[in-house]
Amino acid sequence: MVASIRLGVSSLMLHKLRSGLTTLGVLFGTSSVIAMLAIGEGASAEAQEQIKRLGSQNVILRSVKPQEDQNQGSQTTRILSYGLTHEDRERVEATFPSVGKVVPSRLVAQEARFEDRVIGQPRIVATTPEWLEVSGRRVSEGRFISGSDMRGATNVCVLGTEVARELFLFKDPIGQRVKLGADYFDVIGTIAPRVRFDSDAPGAGEETTKELFIALSTADAWFGDMNMSRRAGSFNAEEVELHELLIGVDNVDDVIGIANASREMLARFHDDQDYEVVVPLELLAQAEETKRIFNIVLGSIAGISLLVGGIGIMNVMLATVTERTREIGIRRALGAKRRDIVAQFLVETVVLSVGGGLFGVALGLLIPKVVQWYTDMPTLVTLQAPILAFTISAGIGVLFGIYPAWRASHMDPVDALRHE
């Protein structure tokens, strides 16, 4: 076996340029399989990561401002009332009593201030203590809102990293007091950032939302349901009871059922489409499906280039067989059986294609790095990709080597010996 590989290599070395050029087809085929899979995997891995951080066991019910004619009443004072209600929350809790936790939250439109530094429109989330667990977020310092904060409607807040940085620079914010609207809140903790994903921000990246958290009960007591905004000549107010209901499902198998039941329930009680149901698990499934299609498409393109490489190899091997007719005759005369001749030429083809495959794997591992370096596009080389690419290239060697080898082995020894 070793001897026949050595022989194959030495035969190929007689035509270094031709052998080298022949391997290029497989080389580029293999490397493009790996590179394309790496780019595809990279893109989908990032999307999946974002979805997973939303919590694959969660169902998110969100309030959405219904579509309406924006010009109507733009000069007047109006109050727009929409979204999820406390009744919805109670219905959800009553309908799915055993599924897990239902975490309501509401956004409060107030500015945040510390000494002379102001954040005009922070995302103030008023919620309950369970939010931390269900959302899967982590407190980086101090603590989150507690049950007693809820019961006492205390003026405490937890800052997102961005808010902490902007208001306090390098100072430790814990124990300080932040002014939200007209009232002072004690900072009791900070919360770690997350990678952000939501339906209206597709270009998601590192969390840059200026978010901070207060107890829902406190928000009810101080700010009510009304969020007001003034613009030149108009005064708008929105009345939203709850902006979000985060349902943490205990068992992942129930997620889809609960999502569907929630949709039906909300449809029954809401005349307008003033809500949306976000199911990370469904998004995940969609992302996986997208990835699968993506992989099939990329894989086929790369596969075609491998196929072309294989045909190139077959072409060269057929020429080689013709050129070495006499050698085949000699070997047959000296006792080579048909299968010996088949083996000899098959080994050469496989050496060509595996050689191309090896260099192709090397190049294929390099390309994603270069792509990532120049474009910041995430890439991910999974272990399967090089193995798959290499196996295919070796397989192509065998597949496209069979016919030339068969031709070689079925030459008539007498004719072959007479061949010039």
Partner 1 sequence: MSDLSPVAGETPSANKLIRADSGTAAAPVAEFRSIHRIYRMGNQEVRALDHVDLVFRKGEYWSIVGPSGSGKSTMLNVLGCLDRPTEGVYELGREDTGLLDDDALSELRSRRLGFIFQSYNLIPQLDVLDNIMVPLLYQSNPPKDGEERARHLAGRVGLGDRLDHRPRELSGGQMQRVAIARALVNDPDMILADEATGNLDSQTSKEILNLFDELHQEGKTIVFVTHEASVSERAERVLIMGDGRVREVRDVVKEVSA
Amino acid letter, 19: S
Q: State in angstroms the smallest separation of the CB of 17 from partner 1.
A: 16
Residue closer to partner 1 (CB basis): 25 or 404:
404
How would you list the strands of the sheet with 234-239, edge to edge?
A: 77-81, 234-239, 226-231
Interacting residues with partner 1 (CB under 8 A)? 3, 7, 10-11, 13-14, 326-327, 329-340, 413-414, 417
Q: State in angstroms the smallest separation of the CB of 48 from partner 1.
A: 53
The answer to whether 155 touches 186, Cβ cutoff 8 Å, is yes
d(CA 175, CA 84): 34
Residue closer to partner 1 (CB basis): 257 or 413:
413
Residue closer to partner 1 (CB basis): 65 or 337:
337
Q: State in angstroms the smallest separation of the CB of 417 from partner 1.
A: 7
Q: Checking DSSP bridges between strand 183-191 and strand 156-160, what pairing results, if any?
A: parallel
d(CA 139, CA 279): 24
Residue closer to partner 1 (CB basis): 296 or 414:
414
- Tokens coding 415: 């004719």
d(CA 410, CA 420): 18
Give the DSSP H/E element, type plus range, for residue 106: strand 100-108
CB atoms within 10 A of CB 373: 10
Q: State in angstroms the smallest separation of the CB of 335 from partner 1.
A: 2
Residue closer to partner 1 (CB basis): 190 or 409:
409
Q: State in angstroms the smallest separation of the CB of 419 from partner 1.
A: 11
Please name the residues in contact with 284: beta carbons below 8 A apart, sequence gap of 6 or more: 48, 51, 52, 56
Residue closer to partner 1 (CB basis): 261 or 417:
417
Residue closer to partner 1 (CB basis): 14 or 366:
14
Q: State in angstroms the smallest separation of the CB of 354 from partner 1.
A: 20
Residue closer to partner 1 (CB basis): 207 or 348:
348
Cα 332 to chain center, whole Å? 58
DSSP letter for each residue of 307-325: HHHHHHHHHHHHHHHHHTH
Q: State in angstroms the smallest separation of the CB of 361 from partner 1.
A: 28
Q: State in angstroms the smallest separation of the CB of 376 from partner 1.
A: 50
CB atoms within 10 A of CB 345: 25
d(CA 292, CA 38): 13
d(CA 165, CA 162): 5
